[in-house]
Structure 1
Amino acid sequence: MDLRQLRYFHEIVRLGSFTRAPEVLQIAQPAVSVAIRKLEAELELQLFQRHDRKVSLTAEGERLWVHAQRILQAADDARLEMQELKGLSKGAVRVGITGMMGSYYFPPILMAFRHRYPHLSLQVIEGGTWQLQQMLEQAELDLAVIVCEFLPTELEARVILREEMRVVVACEHPLAQQTTVSIKDFFKEELVLFRKGYFHRKLVDRLAAEAGVQPVIGFETNLIPLIKSIIKQGFGISTLLAMAVADDPDLVDLPFTEPVYLDLCIAWRRNGYLSKANQAFVDFLLENT
């Protein structure tokens, strides 16, 4: 078994196709098929169930998939570290950021980072907390901003921000006359929420479970301008980070009677290699938050 065979195996599983994998790998299809046959012969196991146009893993293939991901990530980490020691890498950062943070908190930080490190490549991916966490665990991201409360043991993280979640209503809404909003009163209203998988939605779902109520959800969208527009027109209320509603005269934001805070972290794989570029980004965040 060698790394080449494992990479072919990995791409076939990831793409679910013996046809698409060679295209991504930029090699001839027969070479991939031959390598997999040799791998199966060497292991004396069948790794794939072949169907008309699709492939699926056998039970033995599932076990190899777990090891292949770890082995290939370790090989990539080793190659990157060796390149950095030789000074061959210009440096790249792949960081995942949730939509609310990306819209209202990170733009000036990202620009300041690029100003300090103009030679580093910076790729920003937007997604929900759950999606970013999975991408991080699968090495599709180097870093991700996620909610500390939901941090799995496979990840290491540092807190970068504590932010209050505010109840957001239209100026004409009856709740706008109050100084605080109770959880009970919040869930009496029709809500405008992010889709499942975003920390905003996880928070609301947790609050509802603790209160023993079923939220009345009128709209689901991850577009913050649309959420705010729906609230302004009186079709629901929501809860957003304070930064998302600052300086908006058409909205009123109120604290919960018992204030709700979120701790946001910059996270990375605990057993992965944190490159110099990624370490520079983490250090920069901690210095500037």
Structure 2
Amino acid sequence: MNLHALRLFHIIAVTGSVTRASHVLNISQPAITAQIKKFEKELGMTLLTSRGRGIALTAEGEEFARYAERLFAVEQQMEQYVRDYNDGGRGSVRLAATYLPAHFLLPGWIARFKKQHEQVEMMITTTNSSEAMVQLLQVEVDAAIYGGVPESHLDSVQSEELFQDELWFVVAPGHRFANQQVTLAEMMKEPFVMREKGSSTRERLLSLCRTYSVPAPSISLQFNGLNEAIKAVMAGYGANFVSSLVVREQVRRGELCRVNVEGIQLLNSIAVCTRTGEPLPPPTRRFIELIRQYPYVHQ
């Protein structure tokens, strides 16, 4: 079917005359009339008939016009969808996030983003740092929000740091090291409660021991969730090495206490990682633009 001729017919049906259609389309009346005649011949159907000095739709033309109206209404919806998508207002955002940003940063970012882009679907996978990078490189997600030490992935991953937070050693208030200053060697003799292998903070702790030639601590309890590990320490067992974002409120309330380890002051990088050289889908690009504007600010 000749869609150009169908569009001409649709404009005639909407405006009610060839003259008005000619003005709308900026096409001469004879040219429009000739194309409609050719279109009717192709269809084997008379769409327009003369009425006085003007034209009218035949019964078949009226029914055909209803189909044309639906078709071009869908076309307008499609065009609007494309505009919204390119503006970041439609589509989906696929993210992998490590525990820290997933639980302490993403909820606020997503709430702010959804107020502006309600139709965008958010798909978030919370995982450890190693798996987040795997999902990014295997194109399972469009971006990874990462909390930890930036990893080297040759040229395949582009990392943009949003801000940094401190890493703290924490124990229960009744622990003998609570609010005390100790050496790293003394601290590493304590049993630790940590997340599973692959956790960036756990790997950071082990790297710290290697750097200072101190024996690695015993990981006496291991949890897949950081919240469970923190609660075990609050209950009075062992120590934890953790982002200040996670435990700042518990320390303020006196439910946990910091341990000051001599000569150790480490920072944790909060970063957004994308695949190098690949354009982001517009909704994901808009989301990253938003989190650049509203990074976490320490209180």
Question: What TM-score does the superposition give when structure 2 sets the normalisation length?
Answer: 0.64
Q: Distance in 2 between matches of 1:279 and 1:97?
A: 16
Please report how far the alpha carbon of residue 88 of structure 1 lies from its aligned counterpart in structure 2 after TM superposition. Answer: 7.8
**Residue 5 of structure 2: aligned partner:** none
How many residues are aligned here?
206
How far off its partner does 1:148 sit? 4.8
* C-alpha displacement of 1:271: 2.8
Q: Write out aligned runs for 1:221-232 (5 A).
A: 221-232=223-234
Which AA in structure 1 matches 2:246? A
- The residue that corresponds to 2:278 in the other structure is 272
Tell me the secondary structure at the aligned position of residue 211 of structure 2.
helix
Question: 1:87-144 deviations in whole A, cap 9, x for unaligned?
Answer: 4842211111111222222211221111122121111110001100010000001010
Mapped pair 1:106 → 2:88 = no
1:66-81 residue pairs with structure 2 within 5 A? Answer: none
Q: Could you tell me which residue of structure 1 aligns to residue 202 of structure 2?
A: 201
Q: 1:234 to 1:121 in 2, by over 3 A?
A: same
Match of 2:189 in 1: 188
Q: What is the Cα deviation at residue 85 of structure 1? A: 10
Match of residue 132 from structure 1: 132
With over 3 angstroms needed to count, the CA separation of the structure-2 counterparts of 1:172 and 1:116, relative to structure 1, is same
In structure 2, what is the equivalent of residue 5 of structure 1? none
Deviation of 1:250 (Å)? 1.4
Q: Percent identity?
A: 17
Task: After superposition, give the CA deviation of every residue in 1:160-193 in whole Å (9 maximum; x if it has no partner).
Answer: 1201010110000011141x44322221110111
Question: Which residues of structure 2 form unaligned runs of 5+?
Answer: 1-78
> Is the alpha carbon distance of 1:84 and 1:286 closer, same or farther for their aligned partners in structure 2, counting shifts above 3 Å?
farther
Instruction: Using the TM superposition, give the Cα deviation of residue 273 of structure 1 relative to its aligned residue in structure 2, in angstroms.
Output: 2.5
Partner of 1:172: 174
Residue matched to 1:24: none
Q: With the length of structure 1 as denominator, give the TM-score of the two structures.
A: 0.66
Letter in 2 for 1:270: T
Residue 20 of structure 1 corresponds to: none
Instruction: Supply the distance in 2 between the matched residues of 1:233 and 1:269 (Cα, whole angstroms).
Output: 42
Q: Does 1:281 align with 2:287?
A: yes
Q: Trace 1:210-249 onto structure 2 (pairs within 5 A).
A: 210-212=211-213, 213-248=215-250, 249=254
Distance 1:112 1:210, change over 3 A: same
5+ residue gaps in structure 1? 1-82
Larger-gyration structure (1/2): 2
Q: Which stretch shifts more, 212-221 or 132-141?
A: 212-221
CA distance in 2, matches of 1:174, 1:243: 24
